[in-house]
Amino acid sequence: MSVPPELVKKLREMTGAPMMECKKALDEADGDLEKAFTILRKRGQASAAKKAGRPASEGVVGSYIHAGGKIGVLVEVNCESDFVARNEEFQQLVHDLAMQVCATDPRFIRKEDVSPEILEREREILRTQAAASGKPEAVLNRIVEGKLEKFYEDNCLYEQHFIKDLAGSITVRELINSKIAKFGENITVRRFARFKVGEGPSKPAAEVSAAA
């Protein structure tokens, strides 16, 4: 079937993927927008996995100051080349990530950054809550693991829903993966800092730094 140009344009707006990749995905999905969206997300994840081990020593430090100047964020986002670092779309990504940190105040970058001590403490709290609700012992572990996913979503930047995606269907991880697929380079958030007027440090530095 012939895919209408407006459908290709809509998929590009949803994913940020190149027009040609959007057309290929729509052709593969027989014009089904949701299926094409899923295809591109999977491709982005596969591309990101292949490039994850490559060194990313270039990049930029971006900032975002919330209206009124009460909250400010600095974020360092790395890529592999100065060419990509200077790209307008990459710099927009950095700005969007700083805005995300400002709005959601994550404690960690990735779920892998949550220390075993914090994770175990959270498990104990969730298990106690689940047990107090009268749930049978056989399902407690499943309940706890399900609620841990919500903990990751609330506290880990990569697991959060991207705030500029009003449909809530794209996570920050998927947003970054789509840019990795587009630029052909590893892209990673290295660290961030969030400042709010009248507050001291909101979290230990170890909690906001990813392993280099």
pLDDT (tens digit, 9 = 90+) per residue, 23-79?
888 888 888 888 888 887 777 665 666 666 777 889 999 999 998 899 999 999 999
Residue 48: what pLDDT? 62
Asked whether residue 130 falls in the same domain as residue 196, the answer is no
Mean pLDDT taken over the chain:
84
Domain of residue 12: give its range.
1-51
**Integer Cα distance of 197 and 119 in angstroms:** 30
Asked whether residue 91 falls in the same domain as residue 134, the answer is no
Residues 100 and 157: beta-carbon distance below 8 Å: yes
pLDDT at 201 over 90: no
Residue 60: what pLDDT? 95
Query: 39 vs 173, which has greater pLDDT?
Result: 173
Query: 57 vs 161, which has greater pLDDT?
Result: 161
Furthest-apart CA pair in the chain: how many Å? 59
Query: What is the distance between the terminal CA atoms of the chain, rounded to a whole angstrom?
Result: 46
Least confident of 81-95, 108-122, 149-163, 166-180: 166-180
Asked whether residue 81 falls in the same domain as residue 8, the answer is no
Asked whether residue 177 falls in the same domain as residue 104, the answer is yes
Asked whether residue 137 falls in the same domain as residue 148, the answer is yes
Single residue among 17, 34, 51 that ends a domain in this structure: 51
pTM: 0.72
Residue 43: what pLDDT? 72
Residue 22: what pLDDT? 83
Asked whether residue 19 falls in the same domain as residue 73, the answer is no
Asked whether residue 1 falls in the same domain as residue 100, the answer is no
Query: 165 vs 46, which has greater pLDDT?
Result: 165
For 59: left if phi > 0, alpha if psi spans -120 to 50, otherwise beta; the answer is: left
Residue 212: what pLDDT? 37
**Integer Cα distance of 127 and 118 in angstroms:** 14
pLDDT (tens digit, 9 = 90+) per residue, 92-128?
999 999 999 999 999 999 999 999 999 999 988 888 8
Single residue among 137, 152, 167 that ends a domain in this structure: 152
Q: What is the band of 204 on the pLDDT scale with cuts at 50, 70, 90? A: very low
Asked whether residue 37 falls in the same domain as residue 70, the answer is no
Asked whether residue 95 falls in the same domain as residue 120, the answer is no
CATH number of the domain encompassing residue 137: 1.10.286
Query: 163 vs 134, which has greater pLDDT?
Result: 163
Spatial neighbors of 39 by CB under 8 A, at least 6 apart, are: 25, 28, 29
Asked whether residue 82 falls in the same domain as residue 168, the answer is yes
Residue 57: what pLDDT? 85
Asked whether residue 175 falls in the same domain as residue 192, the answer is yes
Task: Provide the domain count of the chain.
Answer: 3
